[in-house]
Amino acid sequence: MGDMRGPGWDDYAAEYEAVHEPLTGQFAARALDFVPVGVGDRVLDVAAGPGTLTVLAAQRGASVVGIDNSPRMIRRLNERLRAGGYTEFEGRIADAARLDFADASFDAAFCVLGIMVIADYQAALAEMARVIKPGGCAAVVMWSGLEHMEHVQVWLGAVAAAFPQFRPSPPPPSWAVLQDATSLRGVIEAAGFAEVTVHTETCRWDIASPAWFARHGDLSPAAEALYRSVGPEARPAVRRELERQLRERYGDGRFQLAAEAHIAIGRRHYRGA
């Protein structure tokens, strides 16, 4: 019997670092610019994936706990931290909406480009607020919309050319709330944070060649779901068309694709505030 479950990020744990982290790691670094951490700080990384922010925070001397619901991602996170010699860390498989940590047990918390894949994101944000010490900060990074993600747009352009009759499904309803700066601020305030600010940042993905991006740019659950819905000919057809379009636009060498995301920063209410 075939695998009937839908694709998830657990399926791409092996590829995430080489393919996606050159872009997502830039946003993680910028989140740490807004909420600096260091020696003596206990940090929570929610939807940590393979440790993109966890590793950066550990390099700054923080004691980091990274959580994710993907066993493969957590396995890779722990491998990376062990390889780096970081002893003050822990990777856990956990439900972000039901954290098994005491109140006020972290100095800061982060969620980098993962909030939109948490089914009960309101509960997850409230849990982040609960476990942060009064006065501590959280940083939540969220894409500002598919239209501001060039790597998605070029891929969708290839899909449209290869299969003109196909209409991709819209993103989940949570995107409508979280990708808008004003509503994102409101959701974070409702979770228990004050002094919430939203900074819209642009990073550029440096890509080796059209051929590389055609082979790797679709390694994601959303692309896999689309391929499954179209049929077995979808992946090779889209990849051929994508490489053709990119070569026409950029030539055979390196090029960059821009992506925009919001970085929302909130401070935990002091007790009685």
pLDDT at 273: 47
pLDDT at 175: 92
Q: For the chain, count helices (H), then strands (E).
A: 11, 7
Distance of CA 25 to the CA centre of its chain: 9
> CA–CA separation, 155 vs 31, rounded Å?
27
pLDDT, tens digit (0-9, with 9 covering 90-100), for 30-48? 999 999 999 999 999 999 9
Instruction: Give, rounded to a whole angstrom, the gap between the first and last alpha carbons of the chain.
Output: 56
Pick the CATH number of 9-268 from 3.40.50.720, 3.30.450.30, 3.40.50.150, 3.40.50.300: 3.40.50.150
Q: pTM for the full model?
A: 0.94
Question: Residue 203 pairs with which residues in a beta bridge?
Answer: 259
pLDDT at 87: 77
pLDDT, tens digit (0-9, with 9 covering 90-100), for 59-107? 999 999 999 999 999 999 999 999 999 877 889 999 999 999 999 999 9
- What is the full DSSP assignment across 4-52? -SPP-GGGGHHHHHHHTHHHHHHHHHHHHHHS---TT-EEEEET-TTTH
pLDDT at 271: 60
Positions in the chain short of pLDDT 50 = 1-4, 273
pLDDT at 5: 59
Residue type, position 210, single letter: P
- What is the full DSSP assignment across 175-198? HHHHTSHHHHHHHHHHTTEEEEEE
Q: Which two tokens stand for residue 239?
A: 């990849």
Instruction: Residue 130: name the closest of 46, 69, 34 by CA.
Output: 46
Q: Any idea where the domains of the chain sit in the sequence?
A: 9-268
